């Protein structure tokens, strides 16, 4: 009788699936290996990027965050994966789950569901790959700001690619120019890098809202300025690849240590017996930006001659609490401490009390991807999450 009841329940549940399916994409381009034969340089650069690791199996931080939310929010892990896939894996064939799926998962009858099939597809093995960006046809900026990622775009038909080159042609697929590649590429970035919200609705990251309008595009720093090169190695110009103005596709960012040196500048002054450390940000978005647990570390070492007297440190980060007032990760937060990032094209000053007898203060500024609190909550082990990345140094003499 119990088995019969479960069978009936399963049959009823299979009538319900995700609310909508993503359009079918050309299976010839499901992974980057199909793109590599013509776009060798670009695929090589992308393959080492965090875009390429933007999915559960390849990113410890993302994986630990999903697992944590699933445990604390009492939803199935696969439901969390689908929700996060809106930006981290937008080519997923389902975009939402509901209570029907949770019932399936609870009684372990979900293995044949559309949700599980979508999550197990090899289409998702590369995170944000070539087709995620270059198959976008339209960006719907008029939608409610809570609509992000796959919910904010329309895809091209199968076999049609979008790009920044107006006269591009290919014998293997159709090509169309779109101004969110050529004229204003930050629009494409902000499909995902905007309005990141906790489960309860609190905004925990919004690079788009921070952005101060300038001529500088996101791609100028996180890809590269345009420079002579080839987008495709097809011999279409007198038997040779056609030279164009292209960008690198490494998508370097906060994980790239070399980007941090000089990203902020320090100014140090003594006033009313306080050591004032001013951090200046010439970038068009806040530093740090993005995921809310990122951190700036200010360290001041006081010396008398060559003798170290004392070191003081200060953490500029955001701490999050859940509805019970306990520390939590950003995506489960109900409340947060004061925002301490350095505003776009702005500055922030912090105070230290100098050590008596010191003749010199050496001030150093570092960045970390994750603060101690969230790193401990998630149990992150990889070195990248605790590594201090050098930004700037100033020596002040009293």
Q: What is the pLDDT of residues 28-84, one digit of tens each?
A: 777 888 899 999 999 999 999 999 999 899 999 999 999 999 999 889 999 999 999
Query: Would you state the pLDDT for residue 17?
Result: 33
Task: Work out the pLDDT band at 227, boundaries 50, 70, 90.
Answer: very high
Average pLDDT value for the chain = 90
3-class secondary-structure state, position 142:
coil
Residues 6+ apart with CB under 8 A from 282: 265, 345
> Percent of the chain having pLDDT more than 70?
93
Q: Which residues 6+ apart lie within 8 Å of 164 measured at CB?
A: 177, 178, 181, 182, 185
Tell me the two tokens of residue 345. Answer: 């094209």
Q: In whole angstroms, give the CA distance from residue 134 to residue 182.
A: 12
Q: N- to C-terminal Cα distance for the chain?
A: 85
Mean per-residue pLDDT, 114-126: 88
Q: Which domains does the chain have, with CATH numbers?
A: 2-204 (no CATH), 257-397 (2.60.40.10)
Average pLDDT of span 271-276:
96
Neighbours of 145 (CB within 10 A): 14
The overall pTM is greater than 0.85: yes
């Amino acid at each position: 009788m119990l088995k019969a009841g479960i069978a009936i329940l399963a049959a009823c549940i299979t009538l319900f699936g995700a609310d909508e399916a993503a359009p079918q994409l050309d299976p010839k381009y499901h992974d980057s290996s199909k793109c590599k034969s013509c776009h060798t340089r670009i695929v090589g650069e992308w393959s080492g990027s965090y875009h390429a690791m933007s999915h559960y199996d390849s990113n410890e931080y993302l994986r630990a965050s999903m697992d944590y939310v699933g445990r604390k929010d009492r939803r199935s892990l696969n439901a969390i994966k689908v929700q996060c896939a809106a930006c981290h894996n937008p080519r997923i064939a389902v975009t939402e789950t509901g209570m029907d799926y949770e019932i399936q998962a609870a009684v372990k009858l979900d293995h044949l569901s559309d949700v599980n099939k979508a999550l197990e597809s090899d289409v998702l093995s590369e995170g944000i790959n070539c087709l995620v960006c270059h198959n976008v046809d339209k960006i719907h900026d008029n939608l409610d700001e809570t609509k992000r990622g796959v919910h904010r775009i329309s895809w091209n038909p199968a076999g049609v690619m979008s790009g920044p080159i107006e006269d591009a042609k290919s014998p293997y697929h159709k090509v169309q120019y779109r101004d969110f590649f050529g004229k204003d590429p930050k629009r494409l970035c902000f499909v995902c890098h905007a309005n990141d919200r906790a489960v309860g609705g609190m905004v925990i990251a919004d690079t788009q809202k921070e952005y101060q309008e300038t001529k500088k595009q996101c791609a100028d720093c996180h890809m590269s300025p345009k420079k002579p090169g080839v987008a495709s190695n097809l011999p279409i110009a007198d038997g040779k690849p056609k030279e164009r103005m292209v960008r690198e596709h490494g998508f370097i960012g906060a994980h790239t240590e070399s980007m941090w040196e000089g990203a902020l500048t320090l100014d140090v002054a003594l006033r009313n017996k306080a050591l004032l450390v001013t951090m200046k940000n010439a970038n068009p978005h806040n530093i740090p930006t993005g995921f809310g647990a990122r951190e700036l570390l200010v360290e001041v070492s006081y010396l008398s001659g060559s003798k170290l007297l004392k070191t003081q440190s200060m953490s500029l980060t955001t701490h999050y609490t859940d509805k019970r007032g306990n520390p939590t990760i950003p995506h489960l937060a109900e409340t947060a401490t004061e925002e301490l990032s350095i505003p776009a094209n702005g500055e922030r000053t912090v105070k230290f009390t100098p050590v008596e007898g010191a003749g010199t203060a050496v001030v150093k500024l570092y960045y970390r991807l994750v603060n101690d609190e969230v790193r401990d909550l998630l149990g992150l082990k990889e070195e990248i999450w605790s590594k201090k990345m050098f930004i700037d140094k100033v020596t002040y003499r009293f």
